[in-house]
Amino acid sequence: TPGAQPAEGGRRDFSAAARAQLQELFKRYPTREAALIPALHIAQREWGGWLPDAAIAAVAREVELPAAKVYGVVTFYDLLHQHQVGRHRIRICTNLPCMLRGSDEIMETVRQELAVGENEVTPDGRCSYVHFECLGSCDTAPMMMVDDAYHENLTPERVRQILGELD
């Protein structure tokens, strides 16, 4: 989705702090390649929640793999994003246990509140949302994830409140 690039979008390379984290990572595995997915998580934090080409290139350099290989891995995993996402990423669980406890309503509420389609970013760059598979919190269904936080036992009112409180 084209639109305003976040500040991090212009970054060319890892920060010094991130590079230090990477060095620690490499010590954990017998191969450099094994650090690829953890490195991509770090890169996503550095580049504002997604992986523009510059991020992929930086990871490829650090892990010493061809960029094509890195792309291949990125496209396999649901938590790694090749396209721009909102500053806040919302994942609404709609798998069976959450569906039985009302995830339709939760999905619909988010859609109405944000007024964009799934995988689109709100014009102010604030939010994007997707339906998601089971997040391992079915005892507190219906639920959704906003960035790293779980929000459980949701109601439409609660969803509106949570979205309203996001910066």
Partner 1 sequence: MASAASGAFEPVLTRNVGNPAALTLDGYRKGGGYEGLAKALKMQPDAVIDEVKRSGLRGRGGAGFSAGVKWSFIPKGKGKPKYLVCNADESEPGTFKDRLLMEKDPHQLIEGCAICCWAVQASTTYIYIRGEYSFANAVMEQAIKEAYQAGILGDSVLGSGFKLDVYMHQGAGAYICGEETGMIESLEGKRGQPRVKPPFPAVVGAFGAPTVINNVETLANVPHIVVRGADWFKSIGTDERNTGPKLYAISGHVERPGTYETAIGIPFSELLDLAGGMYRGGKLKAYIPGGASAAILTADQAHLKLDFDTMTKAGSMLGSAAVMVMDDSTCMVRSVARLAKFFNHESCGQCTPCREGTNWLELLLTRIEHGEGRPGDPQLLRSVCKNMNGTALCALAEAAVGPVDSLIKRFPDEVDQHIRDRACPFPHRRYFSNGAS
Contact between 154 and ligand FES by CB under 6 A: the answer reads no
CB of 35 to partner 1, least distance (A): 7
CA-closest candidate to residue 46, choices 67, 22, 78: 22
Mutual angle of helices 53-63 and 67-74, in 10-degree steps = 110
Contact between 63 and ligand FES by CB under 6 A: the answer reads no
Q: What does the chain come to in residues?
A: 167
Residue type at 130?
V
CA-closest candidate to residue 81, choices 34, 129, 144: 129
Contact between 146 and ligand FES by CB under 6 A: the answer reads no
Contact between 35 and partner 1 by CB under 8 A: the answer reads yes
CB of 17 to ligand FES, least distance (A): 33
Question: Which residues in the 40-59 window bind partner 1 by CB under 8 A?
Answer: 40-41
Q: Which of 123, 139, 161, 166 binds partner 1 (CB under 8 A)?
A: 139
Sheet holding 88-93, edge to edge: 127-132, 88-93, 144-146, 149-151
Residue 37 class from Cβ within 10 Å (0-12 exposed, 13-18 middle, 19+ buried)?
middle
Q: For residue 60, give both structure tokens.
A: 């490829």
Contact between 144 and partner 1 by CB under 8 A: the answer reads no
Contact between 33 and partner 1 by CB under 8 A: the answer reads yes
Contact between 137 and ligand FES by CB under 6 A: the answer reads yes
Q: Which of 26, 138, 145, 156 binds ligand FES (CB under 6 A)?
A: 138
Question: What DSSP designation does 136 have?
Answer: S
**Residue numbers at the binding site for partner 1 (CB under 8 A):** 28-31, 33-38, 40-41, 63, 65, 72-73, 76-80, 91, 94-97, 99-106, 133-142, 145, 148, 150, 152-158
